[in-house]
Copies of this chain bind each other. A is one copy, B any other.
């Protein structure tokens, strides 16, 4: 998606350790017009699929998923939580994932009543690198008996294994921008061709 690639080139920052900072428009400050265009693009890419619900994970996925949902007939968006709270009661699906950005293990929690067996869900997240967060969500989907109809990612780090692993497992992963190479010294960034 050219608009997203252009934006990453313009406002993204590459940091040592393969860190791509896009907090100016994606995951701290949010450009909602861009989110809307992303939603429209995913809707084209997943056209003809049955999508009953969008599943994402707090926090950065929420805004993108909620804005994108408009392009999928305003289906409900469920966001997995990363901490227990007294607001979370009743039966839950719980998985566990390791975050490299937070540098710790944390739970992924979804209340059972918000995933009904047989529902078709679209997973949405801001980043795909090693794929840990997505595997946590997929694990929950398996336990719930819901069908993962597709996975919509804003930015995939193509040089890490998450995307290729998921595609090998048979998931239909549509990343709007796939970073092939990036260089913290020169600021240079190369994208793979995407749909």
Q: Could you tell me which A residues sit within 8 Å of B by CB distance?
A: 15, 19, 21, 23-24, 27-33, 35-36, 58-59, 62-67, 69-70, 74-79, 81, 83, 85-89, 101-103, 110-111, 113-114
Given contacts A76-B30, A78-B28, A111-B28, contact A66 B69 (CB under 8 A): no
Central interface residue in A19, A21, A65, A87, by most chain B CB within 10 Å: A87
Q: How many copies does the complex hold?
A: 2
Nearest B residue to A30, CB-CB? B77
Greatest chain B CB density within 10 A among A85, A101, A110, A113 is at A85
Q: Which residues of B contact A70 (CB under 8 A)?
A: 32, 36, 67
Known: A62-B62, A70-B36, A101-B87. A81 touches B30 (CB 8 A): no
Q: How far is the CA of A113 from the CA of B28 in the complex (A)?
A: 11
